[in-house]
A and B are shown apart, each in its own frame.
Chain A
């Protein structure tokens, strides 16, 4: 191809449905040991992902960014597949709402520490991490 890089199939899948499905030139995912960038014809790979930012470079000037939860990543035969807990498109992140969720979860956690709440501690901690991740991704855009 003369005018661009070769593309490959990219799927960003969550239990609640696919967040992205299509062809892209490059994919950057937050690997457990650092970001992983993948181009077409990448060697087969299986990796773990941490929460962070996933960027799909559909074309040179069309980059879609997602705040993604922890998950797994697989590349095989010109097909890249990211399986994550949760993916929110950077354009859909509502800072206000994320901040409110963060505050609510923290307040609930404090109530739990004082023994006034029956919420699940682990779930609250996850919710905090989730909101923080969204805020950190939106802060970069």
Chain B
């Protein structure tokens, strides 16, 4: 049995650990609120962007379906998978569930006879991919707890480059969507080719347009659409990055709360055992004193 001193030392160490996990929980909670505020902040931009694309798509007419980013390729032979992970661990299953899904997706695609390429986002994902000897077509790290729009642009640019050059026929994001601090769901989202659906609108919208009269386009709608589509991909990636950032903080918050709780339980058990050891020690001493007195008598 350990001595009282040893128990004391262990309790002190667990108490210190609990201070750290508590602090991390609070930091994660603050960052989570910020991440959620940024998701809210981007909504007007994303919504107007979609409206604009639909409007310009209507004006451009059927010719737009031939634009490179909309090109649906028959029997795709290569897919680019972009897993979004965090730069840091200690966030429960957050990183692991993305990489697990990524490798499952890779197996599925390989069974179909496709080749799979990767772009890593987040240090954790990058290191897992390189550790498993996957070659990366690019890695973007160092921003995952507060992604900027410029980061999304850089990723979108690389993805579009590989797609347009014909290196890959599809681009898929794998990331955690934020449900609540307790739940994050891993999602696969195809971002390229862009689904032609975004150019379609209902009859009502078309009538609205007719009422409002014709827009002046400068330059031609087709030309504007060529620039709009990459921006659409950027906003999709930006939203995914923000979702992933919120999920990361949520997962970390929950993981750290559990860790603090476990530390508390551990401290209780250790304190109990320490008291038991102390009593045993006292009993032992009394026994020794009594035995000594007996021997003298």
Report A's interface with B, CB cutoff 8 A.
11, 13-18, 31-33, 36, 43-48, 71-72, 74, 76-77, 81, 83, 85-86, 118, 120, 122-123, 126-127, 130
Contact = CB atoms under 8 A, between A and B. Distances in A.
Give the dominant DSSP class at B's interface: helix
B212 interface: yes
B139 to A, nearest CB: 7
A86 B48 CA distance: 15
Contacts, number: 97
A122 B159 CA distance: 12
A32 B219 contact: yes
A47 B223 CA distance: 10
Contacts of B42: 15-17
B124 interface: no
A81 to B, nearest CB: 6
B153 interface: yes
Q: Which 10 pairs, one residue from A and one from B, show the smallest C-beta to C-beta distance?
A: A17-B41, A123-B154, A15-B149, A47-B218, A44-B215, A45-B216, A15-B45, A15-B42, A13-B45, A122-B157
Contacts of A47: 217-218, 224
Contacts of B228: 72
Contact of A77 (B148, B212, B221): B212
A31 B223 CA distance: 14
A85 B212 CA distance: 28
Output the residue of A14, A46, A81 with the most chain B CB within 10 A.
A46
Given A85-B149, A122-B157, A127-B150, A44 B212 contact: yes
Given A46-B217, A122-B154, A15 B52 contact: no
B117 interface: no
B22 interface: no
Contacts of A13: 44-45, 48
Contacts of A86: 149-150
Given A77-B212, A123-B150, A48 B227 contact: yes
Interface in B145-160: 148-154, 157-158
Contact of A120 (B52, B140, B214): B140
A26 B215 CA distance: 20
Interface residues of B, number: 40
Contacts of B64: none
B238 interface: yes
A58 to B, nearest CB: 20
Nearest to A85: B149
Interface string B204-220: 00000000111111110
B214 to A, nearest CB: 7
A17 B242 CA distance: 13
B122 interface: no
10 contacts: A13-B48, A15-B149, A17-B42, A32-B219, A45-B216, A46-B216, A72-B231, A81-B48, A83-B52, A86-B149
A101 B82 CA distance: 29
A18 B44 contact: yes
Given A16-B42, A46-B59, 16 more contacts: A14-B149, A15-B42, A31-B218, A33-B219, A44-B213, A44-B214, A45-B217, A45-B218, A48-B223, A48-B227, A72-B228, A77-B212, A83-B49, A83-B52, A86-B150, A127-B150
